[in-house]
A and B are shown apart, each in its own frame.
Chain A
Amino acid sequence: MAYLITKENIKNLLTDLIKLKAVFAPKKDAEDTVLFGKLSSSSEWHGDALLTHTTAKDKVYLQSETFFKIKRNKSGVTIEDGPEPEETVIFGCRPCDARGFDIIGKLFNWSNFVDEYYTKRIAKTTIICISCEKPESTCFCTSFTKGSPVNETGSDVLLTNIKDGKYLAESITDKGRKLIGDNSKYFTEASKADEEAKVTFKAEAEKKIAKKLDLAEVKRKLEPAFESVYWDTVHLPCVKCGACTFVCPTCYCFDITEKAFDNINSVRVRSWDTCMNELFTRMAGGVNPRTDTKKRFRQRFMHKFNYHVDNFKEELCTGCGRCIKACPVSIDIRKVIEEIR
């Protein structure tokens, strides 16, 4: 079912939501950094930037998540669960971000082991996504089967700016239907013409994305390329930082560590980790199967476009292009996988 909502009513909706839930939306700070921040007022929403500097991933899959608190004393050890997640709204993310949740959600439910931290948090999160009108030079979402500037995967509500200040609002999931139902005063029913306007919007937005990769071909080339000399030189500029993986909507690798406050209290924490870091695979005692940059660099691309496809039938990438922009030496993921030999 599709509705219409005006930009003004979007702000009213945000004002109402802020009273009930934690609402995260793009916010711009004094250094011109646009990040998903908790809104205290609807006017803080910065809707002008296409992409935030980092993704909304960290609002569901926290960069550092306290699993539980540990207390050691004479009578033994007690493990205390952290607080339950609160009702949350992620507002104004893009289809590539929303699809990221769909992709990592599958991993966290993989192989009979359900990650309750992710699952509980995503269950309490409503994602209101906004379709993209104009891509950046780094965008390549249309290379993916499900990728599009108007893709709905992972969103609960998808907003598309079909005419000046008027958004087509589509409820994708039950959570989305509930959100619209609970706030029905801000929505009007969309006409057939409005829905058709989205078709035009889609065609035009997709046309603007210049780069389209043949990912099936990339997969075919990657499969035998493990030993390829290609990796010997392509990795050379890489400085092995984790910027690419930490701004990625799909990179999910993590570490589990302990933070001790004293001899009694500590917390078990899960933190994002990155395959670019040498410590990622170094064993106690020093043996490391991925010692040099080349091996770690290769792992990132192999994982995203080969191994993950084997295990999940989809790439571990949504084409948001953030890694390209965040890379201090401007390594272009599209170029790297396209030129594989």
Chain B
Amino acid sequence: MDKELQEIIKKLLAEKKVDWAIGYEKAYDELSTRPAFVQDANDTARLIFNKYCINNLGLYLTKFKKNKLAVVCKGCDIATVFELIKEKQFSRENVVVIGVACEGVLDKKTGKQLEKCENCRVKQPKGADFTVGTGKDSAAPKNFLDVVEFEKKSSKEKAEFWNRQFEKCIRCYACRNVCPVCYCPDCFANRTMPEYLNKNVDAEENKLFHMIRMQHVFGRCTDCKACDTACPVNIPLTLLTKKLAKDAKELFNYESGADMDVLPPLSTYNEADSESDIL
């Protein structure tokens, strides 16, 4: 599989169809991989794909807008690429999507398979320009059982849970910076005039940061888990991103990145839209 992947990229680079190819390479031990940037057709031998390839490389598309890119994407990462194209962050012609069949990836910190992989309907990537390998999609659709379970908690329990999480937060912004749809060049968290967020790191300010970020990515977040797996102190951000996905589905029947022709719910207005958030 790696060989096939390397050959496709080698050809794209040799024929100058792309300036850069972004894939994965082995990192510091057998259980870790990192994004690899390849510019030279003779430098593709280090590219690999395995169950430790956790990063969503769609992240880099908004950072290399001026280049033609080939990007290795798991089925789920393709949703990010489509979402970003929809948001007009770059054009479809500038990216060659190389889909890789995936049997699920493991969190490098816990060694456990990511929750999103359990009921994955895109193990066989869809919409890619090239596809490497074959995967068998899960029969069961994504479920929101864990979110439903969490929603049953009392307000007090929820507050206690999240306060404990945000006390851990060190505001390193890894979650924001690995998020493919968090591409604002001037993030509200960095602004000083006016200042939305104080530099003082405490649970209250931290909570404010995460809540505003979650609102900003609603209907755009593809629940890719990049933020969750990036967190150096294991804050379960997945619960929040999955809640966003659930709300988008229930309120607007919208799934980020799934359908190129449907616009994000907060970018459009429809008289039939849910107004459940209006008091």
Taking Cβ atoms with an 8 Å cutoff, the residues of A that contact B are: 29, 31-33, 35, 53-54, 63-64, 137-138, 233, 236-237, 239-243, 245-247, 255, 257, 259, 267, 269, 271-274, 277-279, 324-326, 328-332, 334-335
Contacts and interface: CB of A to CB of B under 8 A. Distances in A.
A29 B173 CA distance: 21
Contacts, number: 116
Contact of A330 (B27, B39, B171): B27
Contacts of A272: 201
A64 B236 contact: no
Tell me the dominant secondary structure on chain A's binding face.
loop
Given A32-B110, A330-B32, A271 B199 contact: yes
Interface in B22-43: 27-29, 32-37, 39
Most buried by A among B29, B108, B202, B232: B232
A54 B28 contact: no
Interface of B: 27-29, 32-37, 39, 55, 59, 108-110, 164-165, 168, 170-174, 176-178, 190, 198-202, 226, 229-230, 232-236
Given A239-B174, A241-B172, A324-B28, A329 B234 contact: no
A272 B171 CA distance: 10
Nearest to B202: A64
Contact of A246 (B59, B110, B172): B172
Contacts of B164: 29
A330 B168 CA distance: 21
Nearest to B34: A330
A233 B37 contact: yes
Contacts of A267: 200
A278 B187 CA distance: 11
B198 A257 contact: yes
A53 B232 contact: yes
Contacts of B229: 328
A279 B164 CA distance: 29
Contacts of A247: 170, 172, 232
Contacts of B177: 239-241, 328
A332 B27 contact: yes
Tell me the dominant secondary structure on chain B's binding face.
loop
Contacts of A278: 190
A241 B28 contact: no
Contacts of B198: 257, 259, 269
Given A137-B28, A324-B28, A332-B27, A241 B174 contact: yes
B25 to A, nearest CB: 10
B34 A54 contact: no
A138 B233 contact: no
Nearest to A31: B234
Nearest to B232: A326
Contacts of A233: 37, 39
A64 B201 contact: yes
A247 B233 CA distance: 10
A239 B178 contact: yes
Contact of B230 (A241, A274, A332): A241
B234 A330 contact: no
Contact of A243 (B55, B172, B202, B234): B172
Contact of A35 (B29, B37, B168, B172): B168
Contacts of A237: 34-37
A54 B232 contact: yes
B170 A54 contact: yes
Contacts of B168: 29, 33, 35
B28 A328 contact: no
Contacts of B230: 241, 243, 328
A68 to B, nearest CB: 14
A334 B27 CA distance: 11
Given A29-B168, A64-B202, A330-B27, 15 more contacts: A31-B165, A31-B236, A53-B234, A54-B170, A63-B201, A64-B199, A138-B28, A240-B177, A243-B172, A259-B199, A269-B198, A269-B199, A271-B199, A332-B27, A334-B28
